[in-house]
Amino acid sequence: MENVLLSDKMKREADRLLAQIGRADSMIVAVKAGARAEGFVLGMETAGGLRDGDAERLYIIFESAVEERLKSLAPI
């Protein structure tokens, strides 16, 4: 997330959301955490709280985290 400019408060929230995704103990919980993260980005984007390109970078960061968590939770 070093390429995304966020205030300290927003950085803490983004980190908290990433941690929730990483701690998800089921696929449903992981998807819900990803949806919350997407809502966070959408809200910041709508409010004009992000530089050009930062919203897209955050979407990719959160989406990648969800994908990785889902892979780790998938039965073999």
3-state secondary structure the chain: CCCCCCCHHHHHHHHHHHHHHHHCCCHHHHHHHHHHHHHHHHHHHHCCCCCCCHHHHHHHHHHHHHHHHHHHHCCC
Reported as a pLDDT band with limits 50, 70 and 90, residue 3 is: confident
Q: Is the pLDDT of residue 76 over 80?
A: no
C-alpha 48/C-alpha 55 separation (Å) is 10
Which pTM does this prediction carry?
0.92
Q: What's the whole-number average pLDDT of the chain?
A: 95
